Amino acid sequence: MEKSKKEKLKNAGWNVGSVADFLNLSNEETAIIELRLALSEGVKNIRIQSNMTQTGFASKLGTSQSRLNKIEAGDASVSLDLLIKSLVRSGLNVTDIANIMVGKEKVPSNVQTI
């Protein structure tokens, strides 16, 4: 948010902060949420790059369309383990997944998607 907008909100009596501040999240909780979102976005980006529907991509991953929808949305019911397995099944290696985790790449260019 722009600094001038923050100042206007503060002057109007609003509290301005992050989601982590609002929810009183620890640094660890914030990091896990960011990790989950990066991994789920990685799965979605690979599906989109593959020009596949959720149904088709889910079939290739060995899961259902509704489960893939939850994976791509970063749903809390999806474990980090399942997110990583989905990326591995998509053809990514450890380095590719690490790059997604730290925000270096959305989809590695050298990966042939399924």
pLDDT digits over 46-94, tens only?
999 999 999 999 999 999 999 999 999 999 999 999 999 999 999 999 9
Please count the other Cβ atoms lying within 10 Å of the Cβ belonging to residue 95.
Answer: 12
Residue 81, pLDDT score: 95
| Position 19 confidence tier, pLDDT thresholds 50, 70, 90 | confident
Residue 103, pLDDT score: 82
Residue 37, pLDDT score: 93
Higher confidence at residue 15 or residue 48? 48
Please count the other Cβ atoms lying within 10 Å of the Cβ belonging to residue 35.
Answer: 16
Residue 3, pLDDT score: 84
